[in-house]
Every structure is written in structure tokens, then in C-alpha cells.
Structure 1
Amino acid sequence: MPLKILIADDNATVRRLLRRTIEDNAELNICGEAENGRIAVEQVRQSNPDVVILDFQMPVMNGLEAAREIGRIAPKTTLVLFTLYAHAEVLKQAEAVGIRRVFSKPDSFSHLVAWLRTMAVVGPS
């Protein structure tokens, strides 16, 4: 069964590029997209993804706030931060809210997808 992935990023171009890259892999499936953290939380309730990819800075509810809420409602969901803001303080905050991995934009598209493919084989934890 493919790994179900939700993408949450306020940038439509980033969402589109992630979707295209991820959909090239049969073991990965995009189950939803969100342009802010609040919509991401609602999508998690509806689609029960295995992995949520969150941008740090989004309107309405940022990625860390969304991660905290998603961790509360879906504790088995693996949370990933995909951001331009991967400095020490953000990494510390990300860990505190249950984010498992942080990938830096834009250099890490291939690293993120490789990690997702590994998750599809070994399973989310």
C-alpha cells in the first residue's frame, strides 16, 4: 500500500513541484494539499495521512502550530518540516512539537523524496 502524504505549503509552486516529484514514485501517494496550517489540520482529520509535509511559515496557522495540533489529533502521523528557515531555533522548536525531520528548501527536494521512499519501505514510526 502506498505511503499517504499530505503537503501543506502556502506556495502553490512548491506544492505543485512536490506533487510532481512525489507522484513519480508508485510507492508514494498524495492524499491532499493545504495552503495553510488550519487547512492541513482539517485535511489530516479527513484523509488520515501517514506523513504530513509542513512549511514553517504559512498564513492562518504556521507549520509548528499545525504540527502541534496534528500531533494531538493524529499522534501516529509522521511530521516533516520543509522550509527556508532551517536555523537552530526553528530546529529546536520543530523537535519540541514532534516534527521528525527537517529539510531545507529548495535544495532538498530530492533528499525529501528519497526519505519518503525509504519510509514507504520501512513504514512510518
Structure 2
Amino acid sequence: MPPRSHFVVPPEGIMTTRILIADDHLPVRMGLRHLLEHHPGWEVCGEAVDGRDAIQKNRELQPDVIVIDFLMPRANGLEAAHEIAKTSPQVPILLYTMYLSDQLMDQAKKAGISGAVSKSDVGEVVHGVEAVLRHQHFFTHPQ
């Protein structure tokens, strides 16, 4: 984990938003962590390497929001989201995938996912997290 000295510290009195990242590729997790922790008031509380790990880490860490990949071993993002929604329906989930399509977005909504962003549009991740934290749906158009 990189030193926290360069991260933005939220103003006093602002609650920290805890984010769980689930992706089977370390460089993606590192990039997301870097992007998300530069947002004032946000911290990545944990990382999961597959769908089953995401379910377990959700139970252990109780994040405020989850950013999850679609294609992962041991349960894909939709399967993991479906299980997480059963035990933590209050936790919004943002799907972050290279395989965004209208069909996948429909399946994501049925699995309890609040939003979806294409990995080709990394800049939209922050907007997506902001939206789902406000209990708004955020589904970008497939590219």
C-alpha cells in the first residue's frame, strides 16, 4: 500500500466514505485505489481478488460502497453482487467492466447493482461512486 501522506484529508467533521474494490487484476485495483483515495473523504478500506473474496470482505469490512469487476474467478461480479445485496442491501455497488452492454446492464440491475461504468472510461468511476452514494442509479452507455 502506498504511503498515505499524499492523500487528501477530508475537512474536520466530514465522515469518511469506505470503499471496497473487487477486481482480479492487481494493476486495476492499484489504479482504482489511487483514483478513489484522491477524492476528499474517501478511503479504500479493502481489496478483493475475486467474487467470493468480495462477499467475505463485505461482511468483514462493512464498506459504504463497492466497486466491482464483472469477470472474476470464483463468482463473477453479478453473482457476488446478488449475494451481497441479500445481506447488505444498503450498500450500493458500482460495476466496473470492459464488457459493458445493454444486456449486462439489465442483468446488473436485477442483481442489485446501482450503476455500471466501462473500464475504457475510467474518469466516470468517481461520478459513478458519487451518484450511487446519493442513492441514484448511474449506468453509462455501452461503448
Q: TM-score, normalised by structure 2?
A: 0.80
- Contact kept? 2:117, 2:128, Cα under 8 Å: no
What corresponds to 1:116 in structure 2?
129
Q: Which structure has the bigger radius of gyration?
A: 2
Can you give the 5+ residue segments of structure 1 that lack an aligned partner in the other structure? none
Superposed displacement of residue 106, structure 1: 2.5
Task: Please identify runs of 4+ aligned residues in structure 1 that moved more than 2 A.
Answer: 114-120
Q: State the alpha-carbon separation in 2 of the partners of residues 99 and 83 from structure 1.
A: 13
What is the one-letter code of the residue matched to 1:25?
H
Given the alignment, which residue of 16, 32, 36 partners 1:2?
Answer: 16
Superposed displacement of residue 42, structure 1: 0.5
- Contact kept? 1:27, 1:117, Cα under 8 Å: no
Task: State the SS of the aligned residue for 2:123.
Answer: helix
Q: CA RMSD in A?
A: 1.5
Higher helix share: 1
Can you give the 5+ residue segments of structure 2 that lack an aligned partner in the other structure? 1-14, 137-143
CA 1:22–1:61: 2 relative to 1, 3 Å: same
Q: State the alpha-carbon separation in 2 of the partners of residues 38 and 46 from structure 1.
A: 13
Q: State the alpha-carbon separation in 2 of the partners of residues 54 and 116 from structure 1.
A: 11
Q: State the alpha-carbon separation in 2 of the partners of residues 119 and 27 from structure 1.
A: 15
- Contact kept? 1:5, 1:49, Cα under 8 Å: yes
- Contact kept? 2:22, 2:49, Cα under 8 Å: yes
Task: State the SS of the aligned residue for 1:112.
Answer: helix
Superposed displacement of residue 11, structure 1: 0.9
What is the one-letter code of the residue matched to 2:58?
V
Superposed displacement of residue 29, structure 1: 1.0
Superposed displacement of residue 117, structure 1: 4.2
Q: State the alpha-carbon separation in 2 of the partners of residues 67 and 94 from structure 1.
A: 8
What corresponds to 2:32 in structure 1?
18
- Contact kept? 1:68, 1:98, Cα under 8 Å: yes
CA 1:3–1:119: 2 relative to 1, 3 Å: farther
The alignment-based identity, stated in percent, is: 39
Q: For this pair of structures, how many residues does the alignment match?
A: 122
